[in-house]
Structures are given as C-alpha cells and as structure tokens.
C-alpha cells in the first residue's frame, strides 16, 4: 500500500474532499450503553490478566462490537524502519485479512491524525489516498483517534463503516477514545513486560555463558593440578625422608585445597540455577564424621590445632547423600580451622536430640560479632577481612553448608558469645521414623581393599606431564603401565595390549575421549574397565561419559587412594604383570 505523495496543495484539496471531522458533533448521537461498556471493560481486564500479549486484538474486537462498526484496528509506527510506515498489529471485522499490513506514515489517514494531533473522520478516503482503492469491502467512513504512549502519539485506533447507512457520531468517538486510553495503558504494560522478558532472557544467556566459563575454567585449572598431585604422591613414595615427606604433603594439601575451591565455585553456580541435587540413602553419620575428620587432620597437624571427634556408640542413621554430607562436615571443619590459632582446639560431635541428628563443630577461634551472625551464610561473605586475618577461601563454604542442609530437609545455625570467644555451628537433620538395622552403614563396615594386585593399565592423556607422572606413580604399585597421547593410539593399544583398565582423558584433540570409549565398547572384544580421568565434572559431563561407555568418572587431580580403590575394586589380575612392572611404556 505505498504510493508517492502528491504535491502539498493537491494533497490539501484532496483531504478537504474526504474529511468529515467537523460534521461529527452535529450528528445526532445514539444513547450510551454503559452496561455493555462495563461488561466490555471487565472482559478487557480479564484478558490483560490472562493473556496480555493479545490485549490490542481484544481492544479492537470490543470497539467493533460497542460501536457496531464493520471493522476496527490499531495502527502503530514501525520501529523497524524508523517510523516511516504504520503497521497493523490488531484488526477485526471485514478487514481482518489485512492484519500485519500497513500504510505510509506521510501519506495516509493515520499520518494525518498524528500530524494534526487530534481525531479525524474520513469519508471514502481512497479518493485522497488511491492505494486504498483495492481494499474490500469499501471504506465508507473511517473514524480515527490518536494512540498515545507516555504522552506521545505513536499510532491510531480506528473504526470503519462499510455501508453508506452507518454514520459515526460523537458517542462512537467517546467510546473509541476511552478504549484508546485503555489500550495505551495496556500497551505500555505489555512493553514493560516484554522488556523484562528480554532482560530475563539476556540474563539467562549471560548465566549460561558464566556456567560455560566456570566449567571451562575448572577443566583448565584441574589439568595442571593433576601432574602436580601425582608428582607429590610419587615423591613421597620414592623418597621416605622426613623433609621430602613434609614437602610432598604440603604440595598434596595445597592441590587438594585448590580442587576444593574449584568445586565450591561450580556448586554455587548449580545453586544459582537450582540444579544442585542430592542422592539420598540410609547412612551412618558417625562414619561420615570420622572420614571428614581424617580428611582435615593434616591441616590441623600443620596448623598446630587439636581436633577432637566425639560420636555415640550407637549408629546415627540419616537419609542422606554420603558425599554431600561429608562435604558439609569438611566445610564446617575447614572454616573452624581457618579461624583458630595454633594451640587451639576444634571439636566435632555427633548426637541426637528430639528426633534430629545434630552435627556440631566448635572452635576456639576469633568468634563472630552479634551483628554478623546472620551474614556468615551469605555467598562470598567475609565477616573479617582484615589483612592480619586474611585466610584462603572464597566465602562460599558456609553457603554450601546451608544449601546442602536444606536439601536434606535440615537446618544450620551458628552461635558465638562474641569476638575472641570462638563459635559453634550446628546442623540438624531429621532422623528416620524407624531405624533399619539392615540399612545402617556402621563405622565398622568392611571397606574395599586399596592394595590392588598388579594390573595392565593404559593411561591416555594429551598432557604429557600428567600422563607421565601418573604412569610413574602407578608403576610404584607394581602395575604394568602403558601410555597413549591421542584417541587413535588409545584404540590401537587397547586392541593390541588388552589392558585391564584404561584411564582415559576426555578432552583429547581430534578424537575425543567419548569417541574413544564408544569405539572400544563397540569393538566386540573383551572390554576393559573404562575410567574417565578428566577436568570436566559437571553433572552433564558425568551423564555423557556414562552414556559413552565409561564405567567410572574421576576428577583431576585424582586422589591416589581413590584411584587405588577403583583399581582394586574393578581391575582384573593379569598373570605375570608384576614381572613387567616398571618397564618403559610402549
């Protein structure tokens, strides 16, 4: 519907021939139907609440009905072309087929309304604007009123009569103005909602990019930690002197601390997305507490802090995720150790009270001021940031404690008598209504042996330092270890060497670890145990590795004791492997 505009004088003459605005007030008006208007307003309010995206269409339908028009619509200035055209987002009646169409801004009835800043009535407007002639049925009269947003006209609301008998009057003008005001308010609300939706989508996109970045960062940070950890473990085995042992212990402890910080970052990201989950089963809280204490004992020894563990004689069974509950206790102990000076004491106790299991961690550290007690569980909270008290950490550990406690249906609280008087953190978890002896995992349960018989192992990693250090470490345990640094070589050596276990990095160049695992599984030969040894540790990464055929998924830097347990539990003894242990890799 575009056509060059005629000269200004000719346009004015044509307009005068089709404009009937002055006649409107002189016409006899029909009586208002306030009952119908009230009903229409209720419909519009309901539509705005239930389906705001369709409110303009609902407005024109109501306008058409109340004014007994043949058609009705809304025209808005297009944002795509800088306001050079009007587009019709809502049309009803005989012209509904033209929804989405439009007219030129500077040569059409809508443009006249905006230029004059007031309502206008046209009779047979195609005599002035010839591009309207093809429209059927014909436009006998068109009544338009400005559509304003924040006081600025950005379009029109219009009614069309298609028969000579139907003449618009001042009552029609009153109704259409009222509906235009409603439509303006609704449109502004809709625009605000759309802007908020775009903002949410943008924030979600930023959040996804942040998650991707954290996952990549975790992978890239874990990769160099792997050979450092393996080298420290190897060093402690090759040189048993006290000095070397102390150095190796420091290296191992600091790499573990770095790995914990990485895990905390990823867990907080999962909390933000609401994807942090727990896998609950009946567990004995005493054994988890003892394992957590063993994990932090080296830190206590180094810091000169006494760690006291108190657990009851009877099992304390809770429905919990063993690993996540261990994380809760370790985080609380780490926090206590961090703020306790040498010569101090940290206490860990397990008890039951009024239908709940209670985990308490008490320290003799710097204490917490009353005004900071509620802040300690906030993300990145550091209630004492002074240089002399600066400690390693991101302020995430206690946030994770609270979230994990809540995911288990529990609560966490803190008590302190003030600065310099220590603090006590308590986690309360609901006890099962009925204890089940068969479900109890007592502290006396037999653990899997970690001293593995010699196996034939294939280590696959494109990081040469990581592969070599791990291989050397495994050879000290008598294993027959071979190396590969890319996917095709890993597949070839798996076929020729028939290893019992393949320790396979996922992020290999060219042929990924996933592809290698699938090809090994599909070979038809006896498949070795496939262990993903990787820096990728998100839940989606674990699911993908399982779907690709991996039997285990271990994160770098892998703990040597954990790896030994996997080998001992799943490896198949190779006769004569011990005689080849320590030979150069193939």
Confidence band for 161, pLDDT divided at 50, 70 and 90: very high
pLDDT at 273 over 70: no
> 397 near 331, Cβ under 8 Å?
yes
For residues 473-502, average pLDDT: 92
In tens, the pLDDT along 331-351 reads 899 889 988 999 999 999 999
Question: What does CATH list as the number for 456-580?
Answer: 3.40.50.2300
Digit-coded pLDDT (tens) for 278-323: 788 899 999 999 988 988 888 898 889 999 999 999 999 999 988 8
CATH 3.30.450.40 fits 8-196, yes or no: yes
pLDDT at 324 over 50: yes
pLDDT band at 265 (very low <50, low <70, confident <90, very high): low
Alpha-carbon span 259 to 103, nearest angstrom: 64
Q: What is the mean pLDDT of residues 555-579?
A: 68
Q: 385-438, pLDDT tens digit by residue?
A: 443 344 445 566 788 888 889 888 999 999 998 888 899 999 999 998 654 434
Count of C-beta atoms within a 10 Å radius of residue 89: 17
Report pLDDT digits (tens) over 352-384: 998 899 999 999 988 888 887 777 877 655 555
Residue 349: which region, alpha, beta or left (left: phi > 0; alpha: psi -120 to 50)?
beta
Domain residue ranges in the chain: 8-196, 281-439, 456-580
Cα→Cα distances 18→60, 143, 381, Å:
24, 12, 72
State the residue for tokens 């003894």: 573
Query: Which CATH architecture best describes the domain 281-439?
Result: 2-Layer Sandwich (3.30)
* Predicted local confidence at residue 205, as pLDDT: 82
Do 429 and 359 contact (CB within 8 A), yes or no?
Answer: yes
pLDDT value of position 150: 82
**pLDDT tens, position by position, 45-69:** 888 888 888 889 999 999 999 999 9
User: Going edge to edge, which strands form the sheet with 501-504?
Assistant: 480-484, 456-460, 501-504, 529-534, 552-555
Q: Residue 128: what pLDDT?
A: 93
- Stronger pLDDT, 312 or 249, i.e. the higher one: 312
Q: Which residue has the higher pLDDT, 241 or 505?
A: 505
Q: What is the mean pLDDT of the chain?
A: 83
Percent helix, strand and coil across the chain, each to the nearest 5? 50, 20, 35
Q: Report d(CA 217, CA 196) in Å as an integer.
A: 30
Quote the pLDDT of residue 275: 64
Q: Are strands 456-460 and 423-430 parallel, antiparallel or unpaired?
A: unpaired
Cα within 13 Å of Cα(316), Cβ side: 23
- Cβ partners under 8 Å of residue 37, min gap 6: 66, 175, 178
pLDDT of 577 strictly over 50: no
Angle at 509 between CA 504 and CA 510, to 5 degrees: 110
pLDDT at 447 over 50: no
pLDDT > 70: percent of the chain: 85
């Amino acid at each position: 519907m575009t056509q060059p505009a005629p000269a200004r004088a000719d346009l004015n003459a044509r307009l005068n021939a089709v404009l009937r605005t002055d006649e409107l007030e002189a016409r006899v008006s029909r009586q208002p139907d306030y009952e119908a208007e009230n009903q229409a307003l209720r419909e519009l309010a309901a539509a705005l609440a239930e389906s705001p995206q369709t409110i303009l269409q609902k407005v024109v339908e109501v306008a058409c009905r109340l004014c007994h028009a043949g058609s009705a619509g809304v025209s808005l200035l297009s944002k795509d072309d800088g306001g050079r055209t009007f587009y019709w987002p809502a049309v009803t009646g005989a012209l509904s087929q033209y929804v989405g169409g439009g007219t030129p801004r500077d040569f059409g009835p809508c443009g006249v309304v905006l230029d004059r800043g007031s309502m206008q009535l046209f009779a047979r407007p195609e005599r002035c604007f010839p591009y309207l002639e093809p429209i059927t049925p014909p436009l006998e009269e068109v009544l338009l009123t400005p559509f304003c947003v924040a006081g600025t006209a950005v379009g029109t609301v219009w009614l069309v009569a298609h028969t000579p008998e139907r003449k618009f009057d001042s009552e029609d003008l009153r109704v259409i103005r009222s509906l235009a005001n409603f439509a303006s308010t609704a449109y502004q609300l809709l625009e605000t909602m759309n802007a908020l939706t775009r903002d949410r989508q943008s924030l979600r996109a930023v959040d996804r990019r942040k998650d991707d970045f954290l996952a990549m960062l975790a992978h890239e940070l874990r990769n160099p930690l792997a050979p450092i950890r393996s080298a420290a473990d190897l060093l402690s085995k090759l040189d048993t002197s006290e000095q070397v042992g102390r150095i190796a212990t420091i290296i191992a402890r600091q790499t573990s601390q770095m790995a914990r910080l990485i895990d905390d970052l990823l867990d907080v990201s999962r909390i933000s997305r609401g994807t942090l989950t727990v896998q609950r089963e009946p567990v004995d809280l005493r054994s988890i507490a003892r394992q957590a204490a063993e994990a932090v004992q080296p830190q206590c020894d180094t810091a000169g802090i006494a760690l006291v563990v108190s657990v009851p004689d009877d099992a304390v069974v809770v429905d919990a995720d063993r690993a996540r509950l261990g994380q809760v206790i370790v985080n609380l102990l780490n926090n206590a150790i961090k703020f306790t000076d040498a010569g101090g004491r940290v206490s860990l106790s397990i008890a039951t009270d009024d239908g709940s299991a209670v985990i308490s961690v008490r320290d003799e550290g710097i204490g917490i001021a009353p005004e900071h007690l509620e802040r300690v569980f906030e993300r990145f909270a550091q209630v004492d940031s002074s240089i002399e008290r600066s400690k390693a950490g991101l302020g995430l550990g206690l946030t994770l404690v609270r979230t994990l406690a809540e995911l288990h249906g529990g609560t966490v609280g803190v008590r302190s008598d003030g600065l310099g008087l220590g603090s006590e953190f308590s986690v309360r978890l609901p006890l099962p209504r009925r204890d089940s002896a068969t479900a109890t995992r007592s502290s006396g349960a037999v653990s899997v042996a970690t001293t593995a018989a010699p196996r034939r192992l294939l280590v696959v990693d494109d990081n040469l330092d990581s592969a070599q250090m791990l291989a050397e470490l495994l050879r000290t345990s008598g294993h027959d270890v071979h190396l590969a640094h890319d996917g095709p070589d890993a597949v070839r050596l798996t076929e020729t060497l028939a290893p019992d276990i393949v320790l396979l990095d996922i992020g290999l160049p060219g042929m990924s670890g996933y592809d290698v695992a699938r090809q090994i599984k599909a070979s038809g030969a006896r498949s070795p145990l496939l262990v993903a040894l990787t820096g990728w540790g998100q839940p989606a990464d674990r699911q993908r590795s399982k779907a690709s055929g991996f039997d285990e998924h271990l994160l770098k830097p892998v703990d040597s004791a954990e790896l030994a347990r996997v080998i001992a539990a799943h490896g198949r003894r190779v006769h004569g492997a011990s005689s080849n242990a320590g030979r150069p890799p193939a």
